[in-house]
Amino acid sequence: MRRIRVLIVDDAVVVRRLLSDILSGDAELEVVGTAASGTIALQKLPQLTPDVVTLDVEMPGLTGIETVREIRKQYPTLPVIMFSTLTERGAGATIDALSAGATDYVTKPANVGSVAAGMQAVREAIIPKIKSLCARTCGIDLGARAPSPVRLTVPARALQQAVAPVDVLAIGTSTGGPNALGVLLPSMPADLPVPILIVQHMPPVFTKLLAERLASRCPFPISEARHGDVLVPGRVWIAPGDHHMVVKRSGTSVRIELNQEPPENSCRPAVDPLFRSVAQVYAERTLAVVLTGMGYDGRRGAEAVRDAGGRVLVQDQATSVVWGMPGAVAEAGIAEALLPLEQIAPELTRRLRAQRRTAAVTPQARLA
C-alpha cells in the first residue's frame, strides 16, 4: 500500500492551505503539490504524477471546466474532484464540469458557524471520495469485507428470455451517476411505456440543474420531482436534493411524495426509500437499476424489490466509477444481471418492447 498522491488546484491561497491541512492530516494521503490556476496545474501534472486532482470550479483564466477538458485529453482516467459552491452558478458549472469529464465533486461549506466546523465538513466529504476513487490503484483498505462471489438470480444463458411485465423503472446512483445517466437516458426510446424515477445523490439546486441538462439531451420530459406529481408513462422524475422521494397509490393513480425523514445510508435523497416504495406499490411489475456509486445505498431497497417479485439489474464493475452501490447489490445475490453501462439501455429497451409486443397480442391470439 502506498499513500494517495493529491494535487490541489485553486486560485484562492486560503482554500489551498485549508485543503492541504485537511488532506495532510490523513496518514493515507499525501499532498504532492498545489497550483493557483488551471494552466499551472497542467504544467505540474507530468512532474508530480498525482493519483487524484481536486479542482476549483470557478477560476480566472483557464476555468475549472476548461481545465478538466485539457486533463482528459492526456489523462483519461485520472480522478478529478471538483470543489464547488452551493450557489446556482456553482452548481451549473459543476454539472458542466461533470459532463466535461470530472469524476465527482465536493461542495464548499456554507453557514457552518466556524472555521473548525467548515474544515470538518470538508474532511468528511472529500477524504472518503478520494480513498474510494483511488483504492484500487493505490491498494487502500477501506475496511470493507472481502467481496463475495457474485450470484445472479437468473442464469446468464436465460437472460435473453427474461421478460416480465414492467409498470415502473426505478434507478439509483451516486458517484459517477450524472455521466452514467447522460449515457443511459438519451439511449432510451422516445415512447417510454413506463414512468422512470431516479435518485442521484446530490444537494438542492444541483438536482434541478441535472434534470434540466438531461432533459435537453433526451426526447422525453425529465424534471425534478414535486410533491403530488402523478406518475404517467413517458416521463422521468429526479428526486430533489435534501428530500427522500417515495411513491404512494392514491385511488387509481400513483403519486410522488417527498419527505425529509432522517437520512438513510448518510444520504437524503436515498435510493432505499424509493426502491421500498415502488416495490410496495408495483410489486412484481417493478424493474430497478443500480448504477455506479460509493457506499451501499440501494442494497436493502433492492432486496425489497426482489422479495416483491420485481427484477434488479446493476452496472458492472469495469464501467463503474465506483463499484460500491452496484457491487453491494451484486454480492448480495440480488441482481438478475450485471451489465456494462452501454448495454443497460438496450437491455431495458428490449424488455419494454417485448412487453409492448406481448400486450398487443389478444387473448384469442394467445390461445391460438
Whichever domain contains 174, its CATH number is: 3.40.50.180
For the ranges 122-136, 272-286, 323-337, the lowest mean pLDDT is seen at 122-136
What average pLDDT does range 197-203 have in this prediction? 97
Same domain as 45, residue 120: yes
Q: 207 and 347 share a domain?
A: yes
**What is the structure's pLDDT at 367?**
35
What is the SS3 assignment for the chain?
CCCEEEEEECCCHHHHHHHHHHHHCCCCEEEEEEECCHHHHHHHHHHHCCCEEEEECCCCCCCHHHHHHHHHHHCCCCCEEEEECCCHHHHHHHHHHHHHCCCEEEECCCCCCCHHHHHHHHHHHHHHHHHHHHHHHHCCCCCCCCCCCCCCCCCHHHHHHCCCCCCEEEEEECCCHHHHHHHHHHHCCCCCCCCEEEEECCCCCHHHHHHHHHHCCCCCCEEECCCCCECCCCCEEECCCCCEEEEEEECCEEEEEEECCCCECCECCCHHHHHHHHHHHHHHHEEEEECCECCCCCHHHHHHHHHCCCEEEEECCCCCCCECHHHHHHHCCCCCEEECHHHHHHHHHHHHHHHHHHHHCCHHHHHC
Q: How many domains does the chain have?
A: 2
Q: Is residue 63 predicted with pLDDT exceeding 50?
A: yes
Q: Is residue 145 part of a domain?
A: no
Q: How confident is the model at residue 195 (pLDDT cuts 50, 70, 90)?
A: very high
On the question of pLDDT at 142 being above 80, the answer is no
Q: Which residue has the higher pLDDT, 272 or 142?
A: 272
- Residue 162 and residue 237 in one domain: yes
Residue 105's pLDDT is 94
Mean pLDDT of all residues belonging to the chain: 90
Q: How confident is the model at residue 278 (pLDDT cuts 50, 70, 90)?
A: very high
Question: Please, which pLDDT band fits residue 160 given cuts at 50, 70 and 90?
Answer: low
Least confident of 75-89, 190-204, 290-304: 75-89
What CATH number has the domain bearing residue 118? Answer: 3.40.50.2300
Share of the chain above pLDDT 90, in %: 79
Active-site annotation holds for 297: yes
Greater model confidence, 160 or 199: 199
Q: In the block, which residue shows the cell 445505498?
A: 297
Q: Which of 201, 229, 243, 244 does the annotation list as catalytic? A: 201
Domain holding 103, by residue range, is 4-138
Is residue 26 one of the residues assigned to a domain?
yes
> Which residue in the list 132, 174, 277, 320 is annotated as catalytic?
174
Q: What percent of the chain has pLDDT over 70?
A: 89
Could you tell me if 129 and 169 lie in one domain? no
What confidence tens digit (pLDDT) does each residue in 250-265 have? 999 999 999 999 999 9
Do 288 and 162 belong to one domain?
yes
**Rounded-to-integer distance, Cα 140 and Cα 135, Å:** 5
- Please report the pLDDT score of residue 111 as a whole number: 67
Summarised one tens digit per residue, pLDDT across range 327-367 is 999 999 999 999 999 999 999 999 988 766 555 444 443 33
Is 174 an active-site residue? yes
| Residue 281 and residue 224 share a domain | yes
Q: Does residue 233 register a pLDDT over 50?
A: yes
Lowest mean pLDDT among 88-97, 144-153, 309-318: 144-153
Mean pLDDT confidence for 212-233: 97
Per-residue pLDDT band for 119 (boundaries 50, 70, 90) equals confident
What is the predicted pLDDT for the residue at 368? 33
In a domain, 94, yes or no: yes
Tell me whether residue 226 is exposed, middle or buried, using C-beta atoms within 10 angstroms of its C-beta: 0 to 12, 13 to 18, 19 or more: exposed
Residues 216 and 304 reside in one and the same domain: yes
The pLDDT of residue 145 is 43
Structure confidence by residue, pLDDT tens digits, 23-57: 999 999 999 999 999 999 999 999 999 999 999 99
Which of 10, 51, 96, 297 is the catalytic position?
297
> Is residue 365, in this structure, part of any structural domain at all?
no
Does a structural domain hold residue 268? yes
